[in-house]
Amino acid sequence: MVKLYGFPGSTCTRLVALVCKEKNIPYELTQVNLMKGEQKAPSFTAIQPFGQVPYIDDDGFILYESRAIARYIIKKHPNQGTPLIPSDPKAEALFEQAASIETFNFNAFVAPIVAEKVFKPRRGLQPDEARVSELLATLQSKMDAYEVILSKQKYLAGDSVTLADLSHLPYGTAFYGLGGVFAEVFDSRPNLARWWKDISNRPAWLAVKDGA
Protein backbone atom coordinates (compact mmCIF):
# COMPACT_ATOMS: atom_id res chain seq x y z
CA MET A 1 0.00 0.00 0.00
CA VAL A 2 1.25 3.47 -0.90
CA LYS A 3 1.83 5.66 2.14
CA LEU A 4 0.79 9.23 1.36
CA TYR A 5 2.07 11.98 3.62
CA GLY A 6 0.02 15.11 3.18
CA PHE A 7 -2.88 17.28 4.24
CA PRO A 8 -6.40 16.10 3.30
CA GLY A 9 -7.48 19.47 1.88
CA SER A 10 -4.23 20.22 0.08
CA THR A 11 -4.59 20.59 -3.69
CA CYS A 12 -1.46 18.58 -4.40
CA THR A 13 -2.31 15.86 -1.88
CA ARG A 14 -5.74 15.44 -3.45
CA LEU A 15 -4.21 15.15 -6.93
CA VAL A 16 -2.16 12.16 -5.79
CA ALA A 17 -5.19 10.66 -4.04
CA LEU A 18 -7.24 11.19 -7.22
CA VAL A 19 -4.71 9.30 -9.32
CA CYS A 20 -4.64 6.46 -6.78
CA LYS A 21 -8.45 6.24 -7.00
CA GLU A 22 -8.39 6.27 -10.81
CA LYS A 23 -5.77 3.51 -10.81
CA ASN A 24 -7.48 1.48 -8.05
CA ILE A 25 -4.35 1.76 -5.90
CA PRO A 26 -5.02 1.72 -2.15
CA TYR A 27 -3.21 4.35 -0.13
CA GLU A 28 -2.79 5.17 3.52
CA LEU A 29 -2.88 8.88 4.36
CA THR A 30 -0.64 10.13 7.16
CA GLN A 31 -1.82 13.63 7.95
CA VAL A 32 0.70 16.45 8.03
CA ASN A 33 -0.95 19.41 9.75
CA LEU A 34 -0.11 22.48 7.68
CA MET A 35 -1.87 24.73 10.17
CA LYS A 36 0.64 23.70 12.83
CA GLY A 37 3.57 23.92 10.43
CA GLU A 38 4.39 20.21 10.67
CA GLN A 39 5.67 20.30 7.08
CA LYS A 40 8.51 22.55 8.26
CA ALA A 41 9.59 20.27 11.10
CA PRO A 42 13.14 18.88 10.77
CA SER A 43 11.80 15.32 10.65
CA PHE A 44 9.72 16.27 7.60
CA THR A 45 12.26 18.41 5.76
CA ALA A 46 14.79 15.62 6.18
CA ILE A 47 12.63 13.78 3.63
CA GLN A 48 11.03 16.67 1.72
CA PRO A 49 13.63 19.46 1.84
CA PHE A 50 11.21 22.12 0.57
CA GLY A 51 8.82 21.52 3.46
CA GLN A 52 5.83 20.93 1.20
CA VAL A 53 3.20 18.22 0.89
CA PRO A 54 2.81 15.57 -0.28
CA TYR A 55 5.37 12.87 -0.53
CA ILE A 56 4.89 9.11 -0.81
CA ASP A 57 6.62 6.07 0.58
CA ASP A 58 6.03 3.16 -1.78
CA ASP A 59 7.63 0.18 -0.08
CA GLY A 60 10.67 2.26 0.82
CA PHE A 61 10.77 4.34 -2.37
CA ILE A 62 10.40 7.99 -1.39
CA LEU A 63 9.11 10.50 -3.93
CA TYR A 64 7.84 14.06 -3.67
CA GLU A 65 6.30 16.60 -6.08
CA SER A 66 2.70 15.69 -6.90
CA ARG A 67 3.12 15.69 -10.69
CA ALA A 68 6.07 13.32 -10.45
CA ILE A 69 4.18 11.10 -8.00
CA ALA A 70 1.16 10.97 -10.29
CA ARG A 71 3.28 9.94 -13.28
CA TYR A 72 5.09 7.32 -11.22
CA ILE A 73 1.88 5.69 -10.00
CA ILE A 74 0.37 5.69 -13.49
CA LYS A 75 3.46 4.21 -15.15
CA LYS A 76 4.01 1.64 -12.42
CA HIS A 77 0.48 0.30 -12.91
CA PRO A 78 -0.14 0.71 -16.66
CA ASN A 79 -2.76 -2.04 -16.91
CA GLN A 80 -4.72 -1.18 -13.77
CA GLY A 81 -7.61 1.25 -13.64
CA THR A 82 -7.76 4.21 -16.03
CA PRO A 83 -4.66 4.40 -18.31
CA LEU A 84 -4.19 8.24 -17.95
CA ILE A 85 -0.85 8.32 -19.83
CA PRO A 86 -0.79 6.73 -23.30
CA SER A 87 2.05 4.41 -24.32
CA ASP A 88 2.05 5.16 -28.05
CA PRO A 89 4.81 7.75 -28.71
CA LYS A 90 2.62 10.16 -30.65
CA ALA A 91 -0.27 9.86 -28.20
CA GLU A 92 2.15 10.34 -25.30
CA ALA A 93 3.58 13.43 -27.01
CA LEU A 94 0.05 14.86 -27.25
CA PHE A 95 -0.42 14.07 -23.57
CA GLU A 96 2.81 15.91 -22.70
CA GLN A 97 1.62 18.83 -24.82
CA ALA A 98 -1.64 18.90 -22.86
CA ALA A 99 0.22 18.60 -19.55
CA SER A 100 2.33 21.60 -20.51
CA ILE A 101 -0.83 23.52 -21.43
CA GLU A 102 -2.24 22.86 -17.96
CA THR A 103 0.95 23.96 -16.23
CA PHE A 104 1.61 27.17 -18.12
CA ASN A 105 -1.80 28.29 -19.38
CA PHE A 106 -4.09 27.24 -16.53
CA ASN A 107 -2.31 26.57 -13.26
CA ALA A 108 -0.03 29.59 -13.67
CA PHE A 109 -3.10 31.85 -13.45
CA VAL A 110 -5.70 29.87 -11.51
CA ALA A 111 -3.40 28.90 -8.62
CA PRO A 112 -2.48 32.51 -7.73
CA ILE A 113 -6.14 33.58 -8.03
CA VAL A 114 -7.08 30.82 -5.58
CA ALA A 115 -4.21 31.90 -3.34
CA GLU A 116 -5.59 35.44 -3.29
CA LYS A 117 -9.31 34.65 -3.03
CA VAL A 118 -9.30 31.47 -0.93
CA PHE A 119 -6.05 31.00 0.96
CA LYS A 120 -5.40 34.62 1.99
CA PRO A 121 -8.84 35.11 3.61
CA ARG A 122 -8.34 31.90 5.59
CA ARG A 123 -5.29 33.55 7.14
CA GLY A 124 -7.20 36.75 7.83
CA LEU A 125 -5.57 38.63 4.94
CA GLN A 126 -7.19 40.74 2.24
CA PRO A 127 -6.85 39.58 -1.38
CA ASP A 128 -5.07 41.80 -3.88
CA GLU A 129 -8.04 42.44 -6.15
CA ALA A 130 -5.96 44.29 -8.74
CA ARG A 131 -3.73 41.22 -9.12
CA VAL A 132 -6.79 38.98 -9.33
CA SER A 133 -8.28 41.13 -12.10
CA GLU A 134 -5.02 41.07 -14.04
CA LEU A 135 -4.69 37.30 -13.76
CA LEU A 136 -8.33 36.77 -14.67
CA ALA A 137 -8.03 38.92 -17.79
CA THR A 138 -5.09 36.86 -19.04
CA LEU A 139 -6.84 33.62 -18.12
CA GLN A 140 -9.82 34.59 -20.28
CA SER A 141 -7.65 34.56 -23.42
CA LYS A 142 -6.12 31.24 -22.40
CA MET A 143 -9.58 29.73 -22.00
CA ASP A 144 -10.50 30.94 -25.49
CA ALA A 145 -7.72 28.65 -26.74
CA TYR A 146 -9.07 25.80 -24.57
CA GLU A 147 -12.45 26.31 -26.21
CA VAL A 148 -10.89 25.91 -29.66
CA ILE A 149 -9.05 22.72 -28.64
CA LEU A 150 -12.11 21.20 -26.97
CA SER A 151 -14.32 22.00 -29.95
CA LYS A 152 -12.30 19.44 -31.90
CA GLN A 153 -11.85 16.67 -29.35
CA LYS A 154 -13.31 15.43 -26.08
CA TYR A 155 -10.25 15.99 -23.88
CA LEU A 156 -7.09 18.07 -24.04
CA ALA A 157 -4.89 15.30 -25.44
CA GLY A 158 -7.51 13.66 -27.68
CA ASP A 159 -10.62 11.62 -27.09
CA SER A 160 -9.43 9.81 -23.96
CA VAL A 161 -9.07 11.35 -20.52
CA THR A 162 -5.50 11.74 -19.28
CA LEU A 163 -3.64 13.04 -16.28
CA ALA A 164 -3.43 16.38 -18.09
CA ASP A 165 -7.20 16.78 -17.75
CA LEU A 166 -7.38 15.57 -14.17
CA SER A 167 -4.56 17.88 -13.07
CA HIS A 168 -6.98 20.79 -13.50
CA LEU A 169 -9.33 19.51 -10.81
CA PRO A 170 -7.87 20.53 -7.42
CA TYR A 171 -7.23 24.20 -8.22
CA GLY A 172 -9.98 24.37 -10.84
CA THR A 173 -12.61 23.25 -8.34
CA ALA A 174 -11.56 25.93 -5.84
CA PHE A 175 -11.58 28.51 -8.64
CA TYR A 176 -14.96 27.47 -10.02
CA GLY A 177 -16.37 27.42 -6.49
CA LEU A 178 -15.77 31.16 -6.22
CA GLY A 179 -18.82 31.55 -8.46
CA GLY A 180 -19.74 34.69 -10.36
CA VAL A 181 -17.21 35.81 -12.97
CA PHE A 182 -14.94 32.93 -12.02
CA ALA A 183 -17.48 30.19 -12.75
CA GLU A 184 -18.45 32.09 -15.92
CA VAL A 185 -14.94 31.51 -17.25
CA PHE A 186 -16.01 27.89 -17.76
CA ASP A 187 -19.78 28.23 -18.13
CA SER A 188 -19.66 30.85 -20.89
CA ARG A 189 -17.73 28.57 -23.23
CA PRO A 190 -19.84 25.53 -24.24
CA ASN A 191 -17.04 23.08 -25.01
CA LEU A 192 -15.03 24.09 -21.97
CA ALA A 193 -18.19 23.78 -19.84
CA ARG A 194 -18.89 20.31 -21.25
CA TRP A 195 -15.33 19.19 -20.54
CA TRP A 196 -15.35 20.64 -17.02
CA LYS A 197 -18.66 18.96 -16.16
CA ASP A 198 -17.25 15.67 -17.42
CA ILE A 199 -14.00 15.64 -15.47
CA SER A 200 -15.35 17.25 -12.29
CA ASN A 201 -18.00 14.55 -11.95
CA ARG A 202 -15.67 11.58 -12.24
CA PRO A 203 -16.26 9.19 -9.30
CA ALA A 204 -12.57 9.23 -8.39
CA TRP A 205 -12.62 13.01 -7.99
CA LEU A 206 -15.89 13.02 -6.08
CA ALA A 207 -14.29 10.53 -3.66
CA VAL A 208 -11.40 12.88 -2.80
CA LYS A 209 -12.85 16.30 -3.63
CA ASP A 210 -13.50 17.18 0.01
CA GLY A 211 -10.40 15.50 1.40
CA ALA A 212 -7.83 12.90 0.41
Question: pLDDT at position 106, please?
Answer: 98
The pLDDT tens digits for 32-67 are: 999 999 999 999 999 999 999 999 999 999 999 999
pLDDT score for 26: 97
Q: What's the confidence (pLDDT) of residue 168?
A: 98
Distance CA 145, CA 105 (A): 9
Q: Is domain 89-206 given the CATH code 1.20.1050.10 in the classification?
A: yes
**What's the pLDDT score for residue 11?**
97
pLDDT < 50 stretches in the chain: none
pLDDT at site 181: 98
Q: What fold is seen in the domain 2-76? A: Glutaredoxin (3.40.30)
Query: What secondary structure, in 3-state letters, does the chain show?
Result: CEEEEECCCCHHHHHHHHHHHHCCCCEEEEECCHHHCHHHCHHHHCCCCCCCCCEEEECCEEEECHHHHHHHHHHHCCCCCCCECCCCHHHHHHHHHHHHHHHHHHHHHHHHHHHHHHHHHHCCCCCCHHHHHHHHHHHHHHHHHHHHHHCCCCECCECCCEHHHHCCHHHHHHHHCCCHHHHHHHHCCHHHHHHHHHHHCCHHHHHHCCCC
Specify the pLDDT at position 97.
Answer: 98
Looking at residue 22, its pLDDT comes to 98
Predicted local distance difference test score (pLDDT) of residue 29 = 98
In the chain, domain spans: 2-76, 89-206
